[in-house]
Amino acid sequence: MAMPILELRKLTKRFGNLIALREFDLDINQGELIGVIGPNGSGKTTLFNLISGYYRRFEGEIIYRGKRISGLRSDQIARKGIARVFQSYVLYEDATVLENITRCFYLICKTNSWQSFFNTSRYCKEEVTQRAEAEELLQPVGLAEFRDSLAGKLPYGYCRLLALAMALATNPTLLLLDEPMAGISHEEKGLVINLIKKLGDQGITIMLVEHDVKAVVDICPRLVVLDFGRKIADGSPEEVTTDRKVIEAYLGVEEG
């Protein structure tokens, strides 16, 4: 079997006395769809904060495609092909929906700053194609008609969809999704589930944090369960949902 795309080694993050994540180990293979579930405050977002470089001081190692990325800045990590959708409202609120997408093309531009400064024809051409690409990205999330509205004025559900489209604009290899379905309508949820499945089929590796266990089970062939910062289960949905520790920690509350 090939080398895992992402290896997490004994990740531990402390906030004072609180240990938000404890000796977390995980190997993720290329193209895998992994669901990360766990009760509120169990450390899921913290895990993403470590992988995406938001926190740079922690214990343990993160290895991406055989290279250590722990300790790098978020922009360096993004440059390696890891994109993240935040759990909360993180957009360029003062820009239009379309502009939000084009700003995310930063990493995949083919012309350099000088060409853009002198407004060369190659740069102009790239601007035109990028605009078209941006509109194309808005299609599958159903935001095409809102392309000129201000992102800050969008209803919450649309914001989440836009954030997802923005992450895709960077053409990622590994996608970290933090509760992309929280607070959105039923139809939108269907849209997101289909989109994630399609991305999975395209070979993008995805880590999905989600509260809606049904949706995760539907999408992800492998689940990891966190509780109080500890990994308590790792396996197929059937294995995990019948695991006693998991039922006690998490599902027990849900089903009870």
Answer for which of 33, 36, 38, 45 binds Mg ion (CB under 5 A) is 45
Contact 37, 223 (CB under 8 A): yes
Q: Specify the residue, 20 or 51, whose C-beta has the smaller distance to ligand ADP.
A: 20
**Shortest Cβ contact with Mg ion: which residue?**
45
Q: Specify the residue, 54 or 92, whose C-beta has the smaller distance to ligand ADP.
A: 54
Looking at residue 93, the DSSP 8-state letter turns out to be: T
First-last CA distance in the chain:
40
Alpha-carbon dihedral of residues 168, 170, 171, 176, nearest 10 degrees? -60
The listed partner (Mg ion, ligand ADP, other proteins, none) that binds 205, CB under 5 to 8 Å by sort, is none
* Least Cβ distance, residue 227 to ligand ADP (angstroms): 10
Taking alpha carbons only, the member of 209, 178, 229, 227 closest to residue 17 is 229
Q: Alpha helices, DSSP H only, in the chain?
A: 44-51, 74-79, 97-102, 113-117, 121-138, 156-169, 186-201, 213-219, 237-242, 244-246, 252-255
Q: Specify the residue, 140 or 172, whose C-beta has the smaller distance to other proteins.
A: 172
The listed partner (other proteins, Mg ion, ligand ADP, none) that binds 38, CB under 5 to 8 Å by sort, is ligand ADP
Question: What residues contact residue 99 under an 8 Å CB cut-off, 6+ apart?
Answer: 92
* Least Cβ distance, residue 228 to other proteins (angstroms): 18
Binding site for other proteins (CB under 8 A): 15, 45, 49, 52, 54-55, 57, 73-76, 78-79, 83-84, 86-88, 90-95, 102-104, 106-107, 109, 111, 113, 116-119, 123, 166, 170, 178
Q: Which residues bind Mg ion (CB under 5 A)?
A: 45, 87
